[in-house]
Structure formats: C-alpha cells, structure tokens
A and B are shown apart, each in its own frame.
Chain A
Amino acid sequence: MEYLHAEYQRTEDLAAAIRLLQADGVSRRALELYSRRPVEAVTQLLPRRSRMSLGAVLSAIAVGTGATVLMYWIQLDYPLVTGGMPIVSGWATAVVTFEATMAGAVFGTLLMLLKESGLVLSRRRAPVPDLPDEGAVLQVECETGAPSIRALLKNTGASRIEVVDSAA
C-alpha cells in the first residue's frame, strides 16, 4: 500500500478529482483532504458519518439523570426543611437538573469531537502531508504503483504529486 499526495489550487479541480476517483472505485475511506481552511465544496463530496448529535444527547440524558438521582437520594438521606417546601420537589431541583443536562451535552460533544476527528483515540495512521500555504492536498490510499490513479490526479490539475510509502 502507498499514499499519493496530490496538491490542488482550485476547488473545481479538486472536486472533479474526487468525483472521478469515486467513479473509479476508490472508496471514501481511502480519500482524505488536508487543508489549512475547511473546503466547503468538498465537504459535500466527502461527507463523513457522524454520531455526534446522538452522543451529545445520550451524554446529556445520562448526566442529567445522574444529577437528579443524586439530588433525590441526598434529599432523602438528609431531609432539610426549607420554607415549607416538600422535602423532594421537582420544581426546586429543576434548575440543577437542567444545568447538569447541559453540562452533559457539552461533555458529550467534546468527547465525540475528539473521537470523530481522530484527535484522540484514532486508529488511522496515515502519513500527514505538509500543508501548502494556499490550496489543499488530497491523499489517496491505493495499491503500490496504481498508475491509473496517478494519471487521473495529474489530468485533473494536481500541481504536485508525491508518493509516500505506508511505512513512512
């Protein structure tokens, strides 16, 4: 296996290259785009599956429920009479439940970001290209040699193509 790094300066060329590579049978997983700014047009061509919203919601529910259960247990464990209120009251604990739920959502979002972006817990060990000042680098994971892919990248306007061995 080897990695081809093709540098592009124009969004249209890059989009065309991605479309042609996918038509050629290259999977989305084998493609990775590196740039110093997000390239929005390419985001639609290389959408990544995400469970971030689900993670945030589940985390929110877990932390919110945990905090509420803790409060109820504490209030039963040490009944504190305050201003004639019932010992356990949903009204009086709603604010803390809400804040804990929101804290859970923040925590869940952070964890999912770290996981999905590969910043932490990443199993992908592809070589990272040097980012150009302008433009972007398209990384293609392919069989060693792969002359057709190289030709395709060249024909779609790649300004520079580099071959990086997977061992690198």
Chain B
Amino acid sequence: MPALATVPGKSAARVRDDILGRMPGTNAAYVAAVAFCGAIVAWALFAWGYQVVGGFGHTGIRRPTYWGFYIVNFVFWIGISHAGTLISAILRLTGANWRKPVTRAAEAITVFCLMIGGMFPLIHIGRVWLFYWMIPYPNERLLWPNFRSPLFWDLTAILTYLFGSLIYLYLPLIPDLAELARRSAGAKRRLYLFLSLGWTGSDRQWQALERAMKLMSLVILAIAVSVHSVVAYDFSMSVAPTWHNTIFAPYFVVGAIFSGIAALVLVMAVLRKLMCLEDYLREIHFVNLGKLLVLMSLIWLYFTFSEHLTTWYGNLPGEIRVFNIREHGLYGFLFWTMVACNFAIPFVLLGISRLRSIFTIALSSAAVLLGMWIERFLIVVPSLSTPYLPAAWGDYAPSWVELSITAGTFAAMALLYLLFVKAFPIIAIWEYDDGISAR
C-alpha cells in the first residue's frame, strides 16, 4: 500500500530538506565566483559603452560583412534557449518521468539565454537609444514599424517567447516559493510570500497548476519552433549567397534543439558537481539526454548534408564561391572543426556504450556547443564577406569590443545561474520523483 506523498527511496520531507539544503550559502567560493563573472560582465558592459560612445567603427563590422559576432551570438543564444522547451515541454507532454529533476534547470536556461540573446539586436543596431522606434506606437512623424521586415518579426517572436518562458518557469516555481516562505524569516519570507501569491496547496490549486502547465507546454512548443524559424527567416529572406533557401527554418530549429540539449547537459554536469546533486541528477538522466544528443547530431548531419549538396550540385557562381571558401578555403578549418564537434565527437563518445559516462557526455556537449557556435559563424560571415559582386568582397575580423561582449555573454549566463540557484531550488521539489527507482 503506497504511503501518501512519498517518493521511491526517500520521504517527501527528506527530499524537500535535501534539495533546499543544497542551495548555496554566501561563502567565499560563491562570492568569488559571482565576483569573477560580474567582473567579466562589467568589462563587456564597458566595451558596449565604448562602442555606443565611439560608434560602430570600433567593431570589425564593415562593408560588406554587416553582420558579425553580434548576430552569430544572437542566433547561438536564441538556439540554446530551446533547451527548456524541448526538455520540459515535450517530455511533460509525453509523460516522460525522468525529466522531473532536470526541468527547472532547462527552463532557467531558456529564460537566461533569451535575455542574453535578446540583447544582441540592441547592441547590433548601434544607436540603442532609438530602439523604441521598433515599437508600434503613433509618433509625431507618423512613422510606423515595417511589419513586413523579418527583423520586426524577430522582435515580436522573441518578446513572446521571453514572456511565455518566464511564465513557464514561474508557474511551477510557485509551490516551491511557498515552501521557501515557510522556511524563511524576515524580508526573505515576505519576498517569497509575495512571489508565491498566497499558495496554500489546495487541490484546486494543484489541479489548476497542472492544467496550466499542460496548456503552456503546448503553447510554448509552438512559440519555440516559430522563434527559431523567424531567426532563420532573417537569413532566408535575404538575397545573399547560400542564404535564400527553404531549408533554413527547419535547419535552424534542429540546430537550436541540438545546442539546447548540449547546454542543458553541460549545466547539469556543473550543477551536479558544485551542488552535490549526485542523488538527483543521476547517470541515467545524462545517458537519456546523451541519446537525444546523438539523435539530434544525426538529424543535424542530414540537414547539413542536404543543404551543402544542393548548393554544390546547383553550382551557381555566387553560391559555389561561398561553398568553396567555407569548405576548403579561408574557413575550411572551421568547417571541419564544426563537423568534428557536432558529429564525430558525440557519435564516437556516445555511440560506443563503453565510452559513455557523465564525463564523456558533458565533453560531447561542450564540443557540440563549440561546433554550433562555429556553425552560426559559418552561416553569417562567409556569405556576407563574399557577396554576388566580386568587387564588393571583403574580410571580417572581430575587434576587442566584439570579443569582450561575446565573453561577457558567457559570464552573464554563469552569473544569472549563480544568482538563480542561490534564490530558488534548481530541482522542482513538488514535482520531484526520480522516475528511475519507480521502474
């Protein structure tokens, strides 16, 4: 006869105490980590300020390569944001129990990546103080935004995704916030109480929450697919060599899910180590995600092959030039590094069961993240630096400003995560069910 509200192996109370007990305290190591990441972020902000004051000439972005590191980073971070959607929404809808310890980490990745990725269009427009021109409001000059521009589609898609993801992260946090309020005192308690909206744990509330999460999973999935499709439309609606094709939207979505899973695995591996979550984030979670990673690697390879084969077979002068410099010209080394990182490394390390371990899965994920960043670079830069008119060809090399801002985004991701795990449990306590010992 099952006891009420227990999980296999551990009582519910023990799980609660355990997970809440692993939230990091304000010790020297934590402060040092925050300070380190904060310093890099501060440097990136300084670099951005330098660019805002001095102008875009401080970047390496110039004719004909108008999109450089900023758009590469934009596509990369928006891609990673698909981690939360895939792991949480798809697995929630399919009733995969093993997802439960990893959903919150994934949902947090989505929100933070969107915050970071969403900054790049602002950085990229240069005159950031004119950003509000994108908002449709009747101004004195009667100028409205161009709704037919994919850049405006980006704005709406990313804002919708950010809004949806924030809600999707927040809703399952509410019961845990009430739990935190019960265990806190003073200002912290008041904050948690406020955020928990007066959650009492009644069956009406549980039923409403579960219903809302199912609905949100459906909606957020549709939004996620649309967001990366819209990011792909930025490219495929342009008449630049190799960009104007129909495969880009699904290709980008596949790449996004691929890099999202890799980011989630890496974050989980770090959290597991630093927060001693070995009891909760078990090898089987990594193995399951590793299998998904291999699957996505194969799908990515299929799309990459299809895209490149079509370009090669078409043999159009403008496109074949980009094809050649990408594969065995200036960017050849990057191209083959990308193939190694996105296919060869995960396929070997995760395909051979003897080599499969948490370490190799995390290593493969790191390789995939590097590979996917390179892929974004190879989509953006070679096509722009080698336009149809040979007289317009040019080079691109990032300046220290772009490199600093790029480094700052990775530090910002780490910083946001550090702050998040300090304030909120990284495993959804009420949802926790290891889903393994129950089998």
Contacts and interface: CB of A to CB of B under 8 A. Distances in A.
A77 B222 contact: no
Interface residues on A, range: 35 or more
B219 A105 contact: yes
Nearest to B182: A131
B223 A99 contact: yes
B324 interface: no
A52 B215 contact: yes
A8 B381 CA distance: 64
Interface residues of B, number: 58
B163 A106 contact: yes
B226 to A, nearest CB: 6
Interface stretch (A19-27, A39-47, A143-151, A160-168): A39-47
B198 A119 contact: yes
B245 interface: no
B205 A135 contact: no
Contacts, number: 184
B148 A85 contact: yes
A52 B219 CA distance: 13
Contacts of B226: 95, 98-99, 102
A39 B5 CA distance: 7
B208 A52 contact: yes
Nearest to A36: B201
B51 to A, nearest CB: 29
B215 A53 contact: yes
A82 B149 contact: yes
Nearest to B218: A105
B228 to A, nearest CB: 12
A33 B5 contact: no
Interface in A1-42: 8-12, 14, 32-39, 42
A70 B137 CA distance: 10
Interface of A: 8-12, 14, 32-39, 42-43, 46-48, 50, 52-53, 56, 70-71, 74-75, 77-78, 80, 82-83, 85, 89, 92-93, 95-96, 98-100, 102-103, 105-106, 109-110, 112-114, 116-120, 128, 131, 133-136
17 contacts: A32-B203, A36-B430, A38-B203, A38-B207, A38-B209, A75-B144, A78-B143, A82-B149, A92-B147, A93-B147, A96-B152, A99-B153, A99-B160, A100-B156, A110-B171, A112-B208, A119-B199
